[in-house]
Structure 1
């Protein structure tokens, strides 16, 4: 086995042990000794790859953010250049679908980092990422957020509703497929909150 392959395998073993420990003990309570014991590697081996648990966390988060950025930015301009409701809904579905397939492939890691035991700032980092990408594309396509509410409230409603649905999906024991969740997210964009409650 090549050295690069050995390194990648060791890093994956350390990552898996780290994520298990976040779920078990919480990030703040775990130590490098916990990680090396759970991963079955020496402290020396750990320090070849990471200076401490914070660098390990940062590298995992950076990789997730980079891949989510790629999945979104590659396709995000598509729905914003459409004009009819049918065009918008169809292309929005495709954007969500591509990003969610990646998130699903990293479900265990994403769920751990989004959990109360994980890193509180990770959720905000993802939210800021989506905010920047969406706002940039909206501006580039001569769009804007509605001024029906103050802009900061409009963004909070739009972004938190979207990301909290994804977080709920990550937490489910029997989750929908990425395709099904993409459809739910797409449809949720066209339903006002008061339409979610009906009376006889």
Structure 2
């Protein structure tokens, strides 16, 4: 028996994309709360009946868009291979960090509207959860290397600190219209996480 997932009809894919694009444009112009299904359908050059063939309401449209984007983010973060284990003694950006920023750049309009501009609470919460899982796995991997790398604070505190820092840097990058490449962002975020912001510690 084949385990391949059936490929979605290109017409359905196009309809979904039209509606998601229309939603983003209108959220940017008017905010989500004031939008109607009629306005979304008209902007997508579709009719209301077509909209309701695919989504229950505007909240379902927003939710499915968030689910899809965040699942892609998770897939990019978790596609690490054994050869991509982090060597924290090197300054080279880790491929997982690069893929994270490449994904955000590829979907920059979505992240700029939903995360940086509107700061939709549900999306921010779920993205923080994704980044927390990422940070937790990274911290566990480092701790497994040597007892010298054990934490000086509760792991839950370190995870939340890292996830919040990641999210803050990502939002800043989007707000500045992504002036630096994904590779540059990955390298410097790793540097901040590992060494802090100073060339030499001013506290020693």
Band the TM-score falls in, shorter-chain normalisation? 0.7 to 0.9
Aligned to 1:155: 159
Aligned to 1:170: 174
* Aligned residue pair count: 192
Q: Say if 1:152 and 1:76 are closer, same or farther in 2 by CA, change over 3 A.
A: farther
Q: Residue 147 of structure 1: CA displacement?
A: 4.4
- Write out aligned runs for 1:1-200 (5 A): 4-75=9-80, 81-82=85-86, 85-86=89-90, 89-90=91-92, 92-136=93-137, 138-139=139-140, 142-143=143-144, 147-173=151-177, 175-192=179-196
For 2:139 and 2:162, how far apart are their aligned partners in 1? Answer: 14
Task: Give the structure with the higher percent helix.
Answer: 1
Task: State the TM-score, normalized to the length of structure 1.
Answer: 0.81
Q: Say if 1:30 and 1:197 are closer, same or farther in 2 by CA, change over 3 A.
A: farther
For 1:83 and 1:179, how far apart are their aligned partners in 2? Answer: 16
Let me know the Cα RMSD of the aligned residues: 2.9
Counterpart of 1:166 in 2: which secondary structure? helix
For 2:23 and 2:59, how far apart are their aligned partners in 1? Answer: 11
1:51-89 residue CA offsets vs partner (Å, 9 max, x unmatched): 11111111111111111111111128766x545511xx4
Task: State the TM-score, normalized to the length of structure 2.
Answer: 0.79
Q: Residue 20 of structure 1: CA displacement?
A: 0.7
Q: Say if 1:52 and 1:78 are closer, same or farther in 2 by CA, change over 3 A.
A: farther
Q: Say if 1:82 and 1:195 are closer, same or farther in 2 by CA, change over 3 A.
A: closer
Q: Residue 157 of structure 1: CA displacement?
A: 2.1
For 2:108 and 2:200, how far apart are their aligned partners in 1? Answer: 28
Unpaired runs of 5+ residues, structure 2, are 1-7
